[in-house]
Amino acid sequence: MKAFRNYINGQWVTTAKQFEDRNPIDNSLVALVHEAGKEEVDAAVNAARAALNGPWGSMTQAARGNMLVAVADEIRRRFDDFLAAEIADTGKPKTLASRVDIPRGGDNFRDFADLSQRFPTESYMFDTPDGGKAVNYGVRTPRGVIAVISPWNLPLLLMTWKVGPALACGNTVVVKPSEETPATATLLAEVMETVGVPPGVFNLVHGFGPDSAGAFLTEHPGVDGITFTGETRTGEVIMKAAARGVRPVSLEMGGKNAGIVFADCDFDKAVAGITRSAFENTGQVCLGTERVYVERPIFDRFVAALKQSAESLKPGNPYDDGMNFGPLVSLAHQRKVLSYYEKAVADGATVVTGGERWALPGALAEGAWVKPTIWTGLPETSAVIREEIFGPCVHLAPFDSEEEAVALANDTPYGLASTVWTQDIGRAHRLGSRINVGIFWINSWFLRDLRTSFGGAKQSGIGREGGAHSYEFYTETRNVCVKL
Ligand SMILES: NC(=O)c1ccc[n+]([C@@H]2O[C@H](COP(=O)([O-])OP(=O)(O)OC[C@H]3O[C@@H](n4cnc5c(N)ncnc54)[C@H](O)[C@@H]3O)[C@@H](O)[C@H]2O)c1
Ligand SMILES: O=C/C=C/C=C(\O)C(=O)O
């Protein structure tokens, strides 16, 4: 049986306590994972501190950048290993993981190695009260030891989205991946070892949240900053932990994102776009749309077209050609999503398609499958419309005016992302300035340029990462004032 170990100070560390990592395709066992306790987390944080004050801190920016490019190259060289590991942990289609997850795992190192060479600092000359002059300039230093807590939906992509810039800015990290998806994080530790990243720069601890590695890490006084992606409720707990010692947090959290489709849209592109935003990665994308508002003249036609599109999705073995719809991440998550499927019916929804578990033949019968689901007819007050489900399901409702569409989209405690489909470019931009989200797509969805800001408004997050915004979080600014 495969075992996933912790990686602390350049050493592979086993523990007495292990938990199971299961494949949601058929619930088969992938590996046993060695759970880190307080002692291991403490060793990891201390190793990160020593590396910060030692080899990593004294390395030139260019040498660090070259090392991170080597990490990206090694991920590319081991592409098939990463692909197999991500598929075993999540069941996602090979076509998706090979197009999105694994390439971005490399890009998150390559792009930030490059960007970090170019980040500017400010400087101001000013007149002093004595009639002379002084100059101010900014100095950036690494923030220190960064705790990275990541989720299971895009495991490698979302973990490296934080590890790449954190290391590029000269920090050291202790990473706690999701207990559901420990595999690619373990492979990344192997890559760090192969490339010769100094011990203590990248540390990996496995485990859960409460009373486990996640809580031990975020509560550890030796951590200087915490970057987290996951559920809003977990973010609240982490923010409390961070308050002790006044440590900064970057929180990327849940959403209940609206899609808005106007009657003047390019119809086929809008159907294809909403199909992706609702069902890609089996709806387990924080940026996905679980509420779609469609302008009334095309409402019935749009519902019919999306139904046809949803019904053409193909579950099965992730390696099969044509398979494009995976299971949910776990049987526990399947139970949660199915509870919303039941709730929708109880709240009076019309089930346009799906609404149930997907019974598949053979070994797949044991997996965490549910059908892609479309509802209409729910009141906006239903929990199905208010709460993030994180499954392949979407509610469609008609609207009659731009004003109404904006109000509906904004009527949520979340504010992560939105996608609007229209050929009226003026209207598209107007909505871009009125919908209260961190990320707004026009005639597109999940198109990513790593230099742009990424994060959520309202309960979807605090802070932004990406490009210069990552630089802001992963460095501390000092102003130096010189009297001339
Ligand atoms: N905004 C974004 O960029 C973004 C991206 C992806 C996912 N998400 C969100 O993530 C959620 C899905 O991921 P999830 O179910 O893994 O989230 P989660 O909050 O359950 O877990 C995320 C991570 O936090 C850890 N954790 C849990 N409790 C903890 C605690 N008390 N202290 C420290 N660590 C703790 C978990 O072990 C895991 O590693 C969804 O809500 C989704 O919207 C947001
Ligand atoms: O599920 C959420 C997806 C988040 C994507 C990113 O953080 C990214 O593309 O950098």
**CB within 6 Å of ligand 2 — which residues?**
153-154, 158, 161, 285-287, 448, 454
Same structural domain, 216 and 347: no
| Percent of the chain's residues with pLDDT above 90 | 99
Same structural domain, 126 and 181: yes
Interacting residues of 139 by C-beta distance below 8 A, sequence separation 6+:
121, 477, 478, 479, 480
The model carries a pTM of 0.98
Same structural domain, 282 and 175: no
Cα 303 to middle of ligand 1, angstroms: 32
Same structural domain, 240 and 264: no
Residue 361 is assigned to a structural domain of this protein: yes
**CB within 6 Å of ligand 1 — which residues?**
149-153, 158, 176, 178-179, 208-210, 214-215, 218, 229-231, 234, 237-238, 252-255, 286, 388, 390, 416, 456, 460-461
Give the pLDDT score at 299.
Answer: 99
Give the pLDDT score at 243.
Answer: 98
Cα 251 to middle of ligand 1, angstroms: 10
- Please write the tens of the pLDDT for every residue from 49-70: 999 999 999 999 999 999 999 9
- Please write the tens of the pLDDT for every residue from 258-308: 999 999 999 999 999 999 999 999 999 999 999 999 999 999 999 999 999
Contact 270, 396 (CB under 8 A): no
Cα 418 to middle of ligand 2, angstroms: 14
- C-alpha 134: how far from chain center: 44
Same structural domain, 269 and 249: no
Which residue's alpha carbon is at the smallest distance from atom 35 of ligand 1?
209
Same structural domain, 95 and 118: yes
Residue 134 is assigned to a structural domain of this protein: yes
- Please write the tens of the pLDDT for every residue from 117-157: 999 999 999 999 999 999 999 999 999 999 999 999 999 99
Which residue's alpha carbon is at the smallest distance from atom 7 of ligand 2?
158
Same structural domain, 61 and 183: yes
- State the average pLDDT for the chain: 98
Cα 450 to middle of ligand 1, angstroms: 21
Which residue's alpha carbon is at the smallest distance from atom 39 of ligand 1?
178
SS (H, E, C) 67-114: HHHHHHHHHHHCHHHHHHHHHHHHCCCHHHHHHHHHHHHHHHHHHHHH
Same structural domain, 233 and 277: no
- Please write the tens of the pLDDT for every residue from 202-261: 999 999 999 999 999 999 999 999 999 999 999 999 999 999 999 999 999 999 999 999
Same structural domain, 394 and 377: yes
Cα 344 to middle of ligand 2, angstroms: 28
Which whole number is the average pLDDT over 385-391? Answer: 98
Residue 455 is assigned to a structural domain of this protein: no
Which whole number is the average pLDDT over 433-451? Answer: 98
Which residue's alpha carbon is at the smallest distance from atom 6 of ligand 2?
158
Residue 468: pLDDT band with limits 50, 70, 90: very high
252 is catalytic: yes
Question: Is the pLDDT confidence value at 1 over 90?
Answer: no
Maximum Cα interatomic distance, the chain, rounded to a whole number of Å: 85
Residue 183 is assigned to a structural domain of this protein: yes
Same structural domain, 239 and 263: no
Same structural domain, 112 and 211: yes
Residue 52 CA to residue 452 CA, distance in Å, equals 28
SS (H, E, C) the chain: CCEECEEECCEEECCCCEEEEEECCCCEEEEEEECCCHHHHHHHHHHHHHHHHCHHHHCCHHHHHHHHHHHHHHHHHCHHHHHHHHHHHHCCCHHHHHHHHHHHHHHHHHHHHHHCCCCCCCEEEEECCCCCEEEEEEEEEECCEEEEECCCCCHHHHHHHHHHHHHHCCCEEEEECCCCCCHHHHHHHHHHHHHCCCCCCEEECCCCCCCCHHHHHHCCCCCCEEEEECCHHHHHHHHHHHHCCCCCEEEECCCCEEEEECCCCCHHHHHHHHHHHHHHHHHCCCCCEEEEEEEHHHHHHHHHHHHHHHHCCCCCCCCCCCCCCCCCCCHHHHHHHHHHHHHHHHCCCEEEECCCECCCCHHHHHCCCECCEEEECCCCCCHHHHCCCCCCEEEEEEECCHHHHHHHHHCCCEECEEEEECCCHHHHHHHHHHCCCCEEEECCCCCCCCCCCECCEECCEECCECHHHHHHHHEEEEEEEEEC
Say how many domains are in the chain.
Answer: 2
User: Position of tokens 């990406």?
Assistant: 466
Same structural domain, 275 and 344: yes
Task: Select which of 74, 86, 252, 290 is catalytic.
Answer: 252
Tell me the backbone φ, ψ of residue 141, rounded to 5 degrees: -125, 155
Token digits for 254?
């849940």
CATH number where 84 lies: 3.40.605.10
Interacting residues of 249 by C-beta distance below 8 A, sequence separation 6+:
225, 226, 227, 228, 235, 238, 239, 242, 462, 463
Which residue's alpha carbon is at the smallest distance from atom 10 of ligand 2?
161
CATH number where 367 lies: 3.40.309.10
Cα 459 to middle of ligand 1, angstroms: 14
Whole-number CA gyration radius for the chain = 23
- Please write the tens of the pLDDT for every residue from 311-347: 999 999 999 989 999 999 999 999 999 999 999 999 9
Residue 18: which domain range?
Answer: 3-253+460-483
The preferred substitution site among 181, 286, 328, 330 for testing ligand 1, maximizing ligand atoms within 8 Å of CB, is 286
Residue 18: pLDDT band with limits 50, 70, 90: very high
